[in-house]
């Protein structure tokens, strides 16, 4: 084991990041039940040592295991958003939905569904395609999405994810 991880606080932070990839610094602080300064210091130490990876975006820092690929990190960050997570689950369960279908199945407003779909398209997590005069959407890599949700489902406190993981696991 790395010397840095022998220190109990750093070990606890490392375990939080390992089980909750894409967690923000504040999320790590809450999960590890530590003071902010202590959390920030140890996150920095772990990042400098290469034991965790920091991604910056949207005014926040997000933390991952260093071996996670860029595609997995993008997917995990999308899954950290409750609305985007629901959209992705719906698109895996029902590929080829229109914007209004997504809106109806997620219970969001049309503008909210549109905003998040555009973001998912921009990240390359979702792809759009034309069928006649309709624009339809599907998850780009449903297999990988299912695997990541299955592996880290406990870090998403969401009944939609639990139901999806149960269904997904029964199909595997």
Model-level pTM?
Answer: 0.81
Contacting residues for 141 by C-beta, under 8 A, at least 6 apart: 71, 75, 125
Say yes or no: 90 and 79 in one domain: yes
Query: Could you read off the pLDDT of 22-75 as tens digits, one per residue?
Result: 999 999 999 999 999 999 999 999 999 999 999 988 788 999 999 999 999 999
The dihedral region occupied by 65, where left means phi > 0, alpha psi between -120 and 50, and beta the remainder, is beta
The whole domain housing 18 covers 3-67
Element (H, E) at 139: strand 134-139
| CATH number reported for the structural domain that contains residue 105 in this entry | 1.10.10.10
Confidence band of 171 (pLDDT split at 50, 70, 90) = low
Number of domains in the chain: 2
Say yes or no: 53 and 82 in one domain: no
- CA trace torsion 136, 141, 143, 148 (10° rounding): -120
Query: Could you read off the pLDDT of 128-150 as tens digits, one per residue?
Result: 999 999 999 999 999 999 889 88
Any idea what DSSP says for residue 22? T
Which of the listed residues 67, 82, 108 is the one where a domain comes to its end?
A: 67
Say yes or no: 84 and 59 in one domain: no
Helix axes 110-123, 70-80, angle to 10 degrees: 170
């Amino acid at each position: 084991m790395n010397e840095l991880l022998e220190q109990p606080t750093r070990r606890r932070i490392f375990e939080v990041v390992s089980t909750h990839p894409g967690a923000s610094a504040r999320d790590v602080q809450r999960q590890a039940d530590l003071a902010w300064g202590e959390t920030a210091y140890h996150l920095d130490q772990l990042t400098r040592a290469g034991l965790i990876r920091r991604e910056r975006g949207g005014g926040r820092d997000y933390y991952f295991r260093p071996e996670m690929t860029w595609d997995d990190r993008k997917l995990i960050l999308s899954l950290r958003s409750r609305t985007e997570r629901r959209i992705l689950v719906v698109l895996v369960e029902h590929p080829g939905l229109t914007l209004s279908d997504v809106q109806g199945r997620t219970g969001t407003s049309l503008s909210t569904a549109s905003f998040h779909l555009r973001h998912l398209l921009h990240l390359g997590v979702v792809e759009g395609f034309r069928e006649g005069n309709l624009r339809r959407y599907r998850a780009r890599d449903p297999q990988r999405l299912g695997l990541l949700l299955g592996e880290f489902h406990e870090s998403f406190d969401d009944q939609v994810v639990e139901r999806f993981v149960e269904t997904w696991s029964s199909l595997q």
